[in-house]
Amino acid sequence: MLHCGSIWKTRIVRGVFLGVLFQGAALYAMADQPESPAKQKKLNVLFIAIDDLNDWVGCLGGHPQAITPNIDALAADGLVFEKAYCAAPLCGPSRTSLLYGVPAHVSGSYGHDSKHNPVQLMPADVQSIPMMFQKNGYHTMGAGKLFHMKFHDERGFDSYLTKASGLRPDKSSPDYNAKPISFGPVATDDDYEIQDTKFTVAVIEDLEKHKDEPFFLSLGLKKPHMPWNAPQKYFDMYDLEKIELPEVPADDLDDLPAIARYIAGPGVHHPFVEGGTHEYMSADPMLWKRAVRAYLATSTFADANVGRMIDALKKSGQYDNTVIVLWGDHGWHLGEKNHWRKHALWERSTKTTFIMRVPGLTTPGARCSSVVSLSDIYPTLVELCNLPKRDVAGNSLVPLLKDAEKKVLNPALMQLGPGNYSVRYDQWRYTRYRDGSEELYNQSVDPDEFNNVAGNPEFAETKEVLKKYIPTEEAPDPAGEKSAFEVLKRFEAKP
Ligand SMILES: [Ca+2]
Ligand SMILES: [Ca+2]
């Protein structure tokens, strides 16, 4: 539950009124308050963050050929959220929103500029999830990428491993490609020589030392973030010739506003590639297939580390006393909407893999089709672990963890820099950009978002309902004219 005042006062000084920002009571109201399952014994937490993993995993079927047996096994033993959305489709603000419980439009932490550092932007009494666990008597340890690396916040950790030596890609491989999309095998078949596996081993070693005290362990896997480098054996698990490419209708961008076409093409955060990334990648279908295979192969490599971590938890004897939270920080396009990378407000950029297993609460194999946000993780952990309530965004997911089929209608809000918002609510996605232009998709008949119906008068009322979930005020961009999002100002509506 959010309250104006306390930690939010600093933001008001910056001209932001939070009562307005958090309009739409349903968005942030806690759902009903069932009894916590953790009254007696402290539940441990294993927190697994996977960088740039979209919904291309077996249990979500985002790509029909994805091989992710360990993530699928976790889903089969816990609960998979079929419609989980990031708060922002890029590492920094997605992780910042999730880990501090404060969305970008409140904190001003919109991107990766040094001025977007959440530690400097957040009021001093804001606590990250690890800080909260440490203050409440947990042993806390982490390795890899949890916060955006540049904004790594060690407060809250008894120990943290941020770096481990990694191996360079094998540039002699025919699968090596440097630009504009970077991928290829590494020059070893030994997973244990690779950075992410070293992070995994570090967390496993810490688990063995501290398994008998309440623990919060955080494993931040950096793959499948680009470059898509993994041992050749993971590439070999996929038949290159048979790789299926995403469906990209030639006229898909015709019904988009100019700002959305810009985001699909040159976009924010990446320099313009002559002719556009998609034109380059799709000109040679085999190059496109090699890229899709590399993303899938690197996701399979990430999955192997998930398996190592969960096997170790089982061996420790703590599996049935540990909440497991596995999340990808946002999605990724590999050609859909003529777009590559993230940094966009469509389904493929914003939907991600999110699985929880809560001993005694989740039903093995449960699937939840209600819309949820990664911002819901913070209040959920507070409730599950009986920690003191915090003023944070999001809704506790405990009612859904208990009953995945319970119908809960909460909107998920996503943001791409100042002024660009998207709302997923029920079967709808409504997006409004800084120049006022809009997109509206009916997911129940158009899950690929091919038909923008924002201009259809039939849905005028629907838009009015969805619009109410978009904040009417937001923190200014502290990076000012140097912000990567400045490029979108060219689309500002002229008075
Ligand atoms: Ca990321
Ligand atoms: Ca279209």
User: Which whole-number Å values give the CA distances from 3 to 22, 24, 184, 378, 410, in the listed order?
Assistant: 10, 13, 49, 16, 19
Which ligand places an atom closest to the C-alpha of 248? 2
Count how many Cα atoms sit within 13 Å of the Cα of residue 346 in the half-sphere of its side chain: 26
Q: Is the distance from CB of 86 to CB of 94 less than 8 angstroms?
A: yes
Residue 134 one-letter amino acid: Q
Q: Is the distance from CB of 381 to CB of 394 less than 8 angstroms?
A: no
Residue 152 Cα to ligand 1 middle (Å): 14
Among 433, 431, 411, smallest CA distance to 420 is for: 433
Instruction: Give the CA angle between residues 22, 268, 427 to the nearest 5°.
Output: 50
Residue 129 one-letter amino acid: I
**pLDDT on residue 40:** 55
Residue 371 has pLDDT above 50, yes or no: yes
DSSP 275: T
User: Which whole-number Å values give the CA distances from 369 to 70, 217, 354, in the listed order?
Assistant: 21, 28, 12
Which pLDDT band holds residue 148 (cuts at 50, 70, 90)?
confident
Partners of 83 in the beta sheet? 371
Instruction: Give the CA angle between residues 78, 96, 204 to the nearest 5°.
Output: 50
Residue 127 one-letter amino acid: Q
Residue 255 Cα to ligand 2 middle (Å): 5
Residues measured by CB to lie within 5 Å of ligand 2, the ion: 252, 255, 450
Q: Catalytic site residue 91?
A: yes
Residue range 187-227, pLDDT digits in tens: 999 999 999 999 999 999 999 999 999 999 999 999 999 99
Residue 2 Cα to ligand 1 middle (Å): 27
Kindly give, in sequence order, each residue whose CB lies less than 8 Å from that of residue 92, ignoring residues fewer than 6 positions away. Answer: 109, 111, 112, 116, 148, 150, 151
Residue 153 has pLDDT above 80, yes or no: yes
**pLDDT on residue 168:** 80
- Catalytic residue (one of 86, 91, 368, 385): 91
Which ligand places an atom closest to the C-alpha of 374? 1
**pLDDT on residue 72:** 99
Residue 34 has pLDDT above 90, yes or no: no
**pLDDT on residue 18:** 37
Residue 254 Cα to ligand 2 middle (Å): 6
Q: What percent of the chain has pLDDT over 70?
A: 90
Q: Can you read off the two tokens belonging to residue 204?
A: 């496993």
Which ligand places an atom closest to the C-alpha of 224? 1
User: Which whole-number Å values give the CA distances from 482 to 114, 342, 370, in the listed order?
Assistant: 10, 20, 38
Residue 85 Cα to ligand 1 middle (Å): 13
**pLDDT on residue 23:** 36
Give me the torsion for CA of 333, 339, 343, 344, rounded to 10°.
Answer: -90
Residue 338 Cα to ligand 1 middle (Å): 20
User: Phi and psi of 97, rounded to 5°?
Assistant: -60, -45
User: Which whole-number Å values give the CA distances from 9 to 103, 402, 477, in the listed order?
Assistant: 15, 35, 18
Count Cβ atoms below 10 Å from residue 6 Cβ, excluding itself: 12
Average pLDDT, the chain: 90
Q: Is the distance from CB of 72 to CB of 53 less than 8 angstroms?
A: no
Which ligand places an atom closest to the C-alpha of 446? 2
Which pLDDT band holds residue 166 (cuts at 50, 70, 90)?
confident
What does the pLDDT average to over 54-80? 98
Domains, the chain, with CATH or none: 6-30+42-404 (3.40.720.10)
Which ligand places an atom closest to the C-alpha of 249? 2
Residue 131 Cα to ligand 1 middle (Å): 22
**pLDDT on residue 495:** 52
**pLDDT on residue 8:** 36
Q: Is the distance from CB of 379 to CB of 100 less than 8 angstroms?
A: no
Residues measured by CB to lie within 5 Å of ligand 1, the ion: 51-52, 91, 329
Q: Catalytic site residue 86?
A: no
Which of 31-45, 86-100, 380-394 is the least confident region?
Answer: 31-45
C-alpha to C-alpha distance for 328 and 325, rounded to whole angstroms: 10
Residue 85 has pLDDT above 60, yes or no: yes
Q: Between these two residues, 450 and 274, which has the higher pLDDT value?
A: 450
DSSP 472: S
Residue 357 has pLDDT above 90, yes or no: yes
Residue 39 Cα to ligand 1 middle (Å): 35
Which ligand places an atom closest to the C-alpha of 252? 2
**pLDDT on residue 492:** 82
Which pLDDT band holds residue 493 (cuts at 50, 70, 90)?
low
Residue 83 one-letter amino acid: K
What does the pLDDT average to over 408-431? 97
Residue 339 Cα to ligand 2 middle (Å): 13
Residue range 228-280, pLDDT digits in tens: 999 999 999 999 999 999 999 999 999 999 999 999 988 776 655 666 889 98
**pLDDT on residue 10:** 34
**pLDDT on residue 47:** 98
Residue 340 Cα to ligand 1 middle (Å): 14
Residue 448 Cα to ligand 2 middle (Å): 9
Which pLDDT band holds residue 183 (cuts at 50, 70, 90)?
very high
C-alpha to C-alpha distance for 91 and 88, rounded to whole angstroms: 8
- Catalytic residue (one of 148, 225, 330, 333): 148
**pLDDT on residue 167:** 80
**pLDDT on residue 354:** 99
What does the pLDDT average to over 96-108? 97
**pLDDT on residue 274:** 66
**pLDDT on residue 178:** 67
Which of 169-173, 400-404, 465-469 is the least confident region?
Answer: 169-173
